[in-house]
Amino acid sequence: MTNVFTLKQPGAVDDHGLERNPGMAYTPELFNRIRINRSAVERRAATIAKRRSIKKEFQTAWLLKAITCMDLTTLAGDDTPGKVRRLCQKARRPVRRDILDGLGVGDMNITTGAVCVYHNLIPTAVKALEGTDIPVAAVSTGFPAGQIPQPLKIAQIRESVKAGATEIDIVISRAMVLTGDWKAIYEEVKAYREACGEAHLKAILATGELGTLTNVAKASWVCMQAGADFIKTSTGKESVNATLPYSLVMVRAIRDYHQLTGYKVGYKPAGGISKASEAIAYLVLIKEELGNEWLNPHLFRFGASSLLGDIERQLEHRLTGSYSASYRHPMS
């Protein structure tokens, strides 16, 4: 490997002062020799939730942090403008005011990291979030399966950006991964990045459909080389979605890419994370593997729809000593 790969080139700066990953030339020698030992990954992942005992006010702080890193999401066939408007109100005020005041954090203006919707509901979400800094994310490129022609995928991205989405969650073609056509994946994601313009690109790997952890690692590298701002585990529609072993492989790829290029790529586990304790485990993973710099919504997100309700229940328990019924914490 030559030293040219360690020289950081200037990248565009986003609205948060973070240099965006501009990508790099397709360089298969950086990932061709990767081989992931599944047993070792699973052993390490099994220790994550056990290594730290987080209690009382510290647990409260971690759960509030999790809320700020959440993409509040609705991706259902029965989504309506009214449902999205209610979801956006929840994003503005994710925890009941009496709970926040009781915990002494009522003045912190806590919101979720983003709201994620289908393309047709972008204008509704943008209007409902006016006056806030909460971005609207849209799923694109034939989400969730990605089984539409490439020109339509590009057009879909451009239309979503035109409609007001500032984050685009794309899906990669899993068949290209399974056949080892890494150059095609690179060209595909690079074209998506160009179509996004100033909107951030979150590349969904659909880890549960990639066959091996080695494929997950290689796909992570290819998407980052192509200029992805985030890499994301899942659509939430697969039979297996976010897991700690998948996440460990992906965040270590992010760490290695940052050490090589100087650019920070974000990470988003999505699907299957519904408990507050699980959210804390993912935050611990990020802290231990990537460091505190990644513990913010510009570099870390949860893709979740039911997680917020359980976190709010845990926060109320911290305040009252009792667990409330889930209907007291509606999503929308």
Cβ neighbors of 321 (< 8 A, separation 6 or more) are none
Helices (H), the chain: 38-48, 56-68, 81-92, 97-103, 122-128, 150-163, 174-178, 182-196, 213-225, 244-261, 276-289, 307-320
Short-list 29, 117, 24, 133, CA closest to 75: 117
**Catalytic position from the list 65, 202, 268, 310:** 268
- The label of the residue with tokens 């009792």 reads 322
Exactly one of 71, 169, 229, 310 is catalytic; name it.
169
C-alpha torsion angle, residues 164, 169, 170, 174 (rounded to 10): -170
- Contacts of residue 48, Cβ cutoff 8 Å, sequence gap at least 6: 244, 248, 281, 284, 285, 288
- In the residue annotation, 232 being an active-site residue is answered as yes
The structure tokens 């007291």 sit at: 328
15 Cβ contact partners less than 8 Å away, ≥ 6 residues apart: none
C-alpha to C-alpha distance for 231 and 225, rounded to whole angstroms: 11
Rounded to whole angstroms, the Cα distance separating 305 from 87 reads: 10
> Which one of 229, 232, 264, 310 is the catalytic residue?
232
Q: Active-site positions?
A: 169, 232, 268
